[in-house]
Amino acid sequence: MQRVNRDAMTDAAILIEPLIPALRRYAMALLHHRATADDLVQDALERAISRWHQRRSDLDTRAWLFTILHHLAVNRMRQAARRGAHSAIEDVAQVLLAEAPRQEEAMAEADILHAVQALPEEFRAVLLLVSVEGLSYAETARVLGVPLGTIMSRLSRARERLSRKMEAGHRAPAIALRRVK
């Protein structure tokens, strides 16, 4: 029995070995990466040798090997598409691997939003138009239909109230309120 297996392996080696360069070329054309292509060829050869007894004698060995290689390549490409891009961990910048926790930032932002919402409407509108939307004082005065001096006064009071609310909550604002004149 062992003699038959050795003969089969010898036959397999004789038939397979001359096809290896062609298999490598095809794998390289499919995958465009030498190491991955070599791994694919090795896996295809391993599968062919381990299933040599299942090979149909009427089938051309060359076509059979290329079929195995092709099916393995398609499976790998599908698997890679599902997994997404792959990068060696050594090649990725440390900054991209770790992300600073943002819970405190989110809490500070929530505190600011609550403090802004608690402002009286006339202060909140001026603060949002000038500090968030970037309108000038004159544009804000036109939008709200009030004098320019009123805008400056309301903005000053809104910032002062917002600052007091934030200090009372023992949290500093996470965003700087910009001043536009």
Task: Break the chain into its structural domains and give their ranges.
Answer: 2-92, 103-168
What pLDDT does residue 10 have? 72
pLDDT of residue 8: 60
The rounded mean pLDDT for the chain is 84
CATH architecture label of 103-168: Orthogonal Bundle (1.10)
Q: What is the pTM of this model?
A: 0.45
Q: Determine the pLDDT at residue 141.
A: 92
- Structure confidence by residue, pLDDT tens digits, 107-131: 888 888 888 898 998 999 999 999 8
Q: What class, spelled out in words, does domain 2-92 have in CATH?
A: mainly alpha
Give pLDDT tens digits along the chain (181 positions): 444 466 666 777 788 899 999 999 999 999 889 999 999 999 999 999 898 888 877 678 888 999 999 999 999 989 888 887 777 778 778 777 777 777 888 888 888 888 889 899 899 999 999 988 899 999 999 999 999 999 999 999 999 998 888 888 644 445 556 666 6
Q: pLDDT at position 175, please? A: 54
Find, among 110, 116, 118, 112, the residue nearest to 128 by Cα.
Answer: 116
Q: Burial, 128: exposed, middle or buried (Cβ in 10 Å; 0-12, 13-18, 19+)?
A: middle
Those residues with Cβ within 8 angstroms of residue 165's Cβ, 6 or more apart along the chain or in another chain: 115, 118
Does 2-92 match 103-168 in CATH topology?
no
Question: CA dist 138 to 59, 116, 159, Å?
Answer: 85, 22, 18
Question: Tell me, what's the pLDDT at 176?
Answer: 57
